[in-house]
Amino acid sequence: MTDLLKISGLHASIDADGKPKEILRGVDLVIPPGEVHAIMGPNGCGKSTLSYVLAGREEYDVTSGSVTFMGRDLLDMEPEERAAAGLFLAFQSPVELPGVNNANFLRTAVNAVRRARGEAELDAVGFLKAVRAATKNLSMSDDMLKRSVNVGFSGGEKKRNEVLQMTMLQPTLAILDETDSGLDVDALRIVAEGVKNLRSPKFSALVITHHQRLLDYLGPDRIHVMARGRIVRSGGPELAKQIDAEGYASFLAEAA
């Protein structure tokens, strides 16, 4: 079976005071269909940058390397095309959209993606049914659907809202950028369950995290350690436990 996502020798930089600052320095990574992979690494190693570059944020300049997603050149696609193709990014800091009704936003997004995928749009009733089921699983109140997108949401509510969007958009690859940060134990469990519910042969995830706890819930297939803009080590779930026990010092030494 072909790889879902294949990243080869990816270099990317960002403009810092008029000079390019290289953040990704040759990332290689492969995610097969149906697998959950985790990326761990110290702050500033390029984890979030990798997620942004994969999602198509324009501020980043890809200087070399390639990314294929379901056999297509991902880097050649607009952000919305990537979303339609099945790539979802759960933001570390979800963005507020004042005055934009959360349910309306969700329905617009779902139907934009469905249109692009050649599927029929959901009508008001069909949408409501689907969203009600999803919010129930995430212990979200109807009230959150009526409010403006992420405005006045607590940290936990924002993260749950991300998982709600993910559930509704049915991605083939979800990138979760520290979705577990700032969550209490209960919220973490709910969010983790939300992700776990999506596990299927047609769903893969790339989970960026600092914490063993989320991984305990998700049971990842592979762990990758990132340092100084590269993947420096990959292994099974035991790698996460090693990091939990020893920290990143030894990996940083490898990356140097």
Binding site for another protein (CB under 8 A): 55-59, 78-80, 82-84, 88-89, 91, 94-101, 104-105, 108-110, 112-113, 116, 123, 148, 165, 169
Q: How far is the CB of 205 from another protein (least distance, A)?
A: 16
In angstroms, give the least distance from the CB of 89 to another protein.
Answer: 5
Please tell me the distance from the alpha carbon of residue 221 to that of residue 245, in angstroms, as a whole number: 20
Cα distances (angstroms) measured from residue 152 to each of 75, 148, 171: 34, 8, 27
Rounded least distance, CB 183 to another protein, Å? 20
- If one counts every other C-beta atom within 10 angstroms of the C-beta of residue 119, the result is 12
| Minimum distance of another protein from residue 226's CB (angstroms) | 21
Give the tokens for residue 197.
């519910």
Residue 82 or 233: the one with the smaller Cβ distance to another protein is 82
Measured from the CB atom, the residue of 65 and 86 that comes closer to another protein is 86
By the 10 Å C-beta count (0-12 exposed, 13-18 middle, 19+ buried), 37 is classed as: buried
Comparing CB distances to another protein, the nearer of 38 and 90 is: 90
CB nearer to another protein: pick between 16 and 116: 116
If the CB atoms of residues 115 and 254 are measured against another protein, the closer one turns out to be 115
